[in-house]
Amino acid sequence: MDESVESAASDSCSDGESVNLSVLNWEQVQRLDTILTGSIPIHGRWSFPTLEVKPRDIVKVVRSRMEEKRIHVREVRLNGSAASYVLHEDSGLGWKDLDLIFCAELKGEMEFQIVKDIVLDSLLDFLPEGVNKEKITPMTLKEAYVQKMVKVCNDSDRWSLISLSNNRGKNVELKFVDSLRRQFEFSVDSFQIRLDSLLLFYECSEHPMAATFHPTILGESVYGDFPTALDHLRKRLICTRRPEEIRGGGLMKYCHLLVRGFAQPLTQR
């Protein structure tokens, strides 16, 4: 996993240079719309019912309640394999977990706790009609529907993750990021799609989207060079930068890419 020579991107949720960005075409917008408006089941443990959740709906509920609690959300992004799938349908990766990033101001422990409470409370909105919600506690919801929770709070990283269970491998992962030093492992998983313009369209437009009538949606590569990263995705190439910074599942991701037919460029072998 040698380091590539491509230029670096900004490792934050702030705006990048134009080389990092690309406007989605109509086909890409359609794939994104299908993901955001489609229903994803959140499977409950024991006898708890399955929740049918549309990503656009849970983003709306969580974001509005964060703002009510005075936690400002700068923007919401789609990340990971779903973003890669939107940009290039035939990448060979498909998409698994649905990674949604809320770029927000998380100043301390209180904000992390508020966000956790908001997500768990939001699940009540998606319970089927007829379910008695009064006796369901946040702890019960956590045990029934949450696959995992992660919180990182140090000098360079301040973020949390709440993963909602899906038995088919499509967990809904809500990530709340104040700062994050490294947001990707390889160029092909470095894509983020800025959702705010589409979310606003859902709220305000009286007409459906069409090839000649849809919002401008930006994709970004935090790898640092959007055209190059997209070319890697199309050609199934494994490239990265500063590989010594990759932590955790980097080797597993590398092996996963190899199994899926990806390879290092000839110049790096």
Distance CA(31)–CA(36), nearest Å, equals 9
What pLDDT, in 10s, does the model give residues 1-31? Answer: 333 323 333 333 444 457 999 999 999 999 9
Give pTM, 2 decimals. Answer: 0.88
Q: Do 61 and 119 contact (CB within 8 A), yes or no?
A: no
Quickly state the pLDDT bin for 91 (edges 50, 70, 90): low
Quickly state the pLDDT bin for 266 (edges 50, 70, 90): low
Quickly state the pLDDT bin for 92 (edges 50, 70, 90): low
Distance CA(88)–CA(84), nearest Å, equals 6
Burial zone of 147 (CB within 10 Å; 0-12 exposed, 13-18 middle, 19+ buried): middle
What pLDDT, in 10s, does the model give residues 203-250? Answer: 999 999 999 999 999 999 999 899 999 999 999 998 887 766 666 667
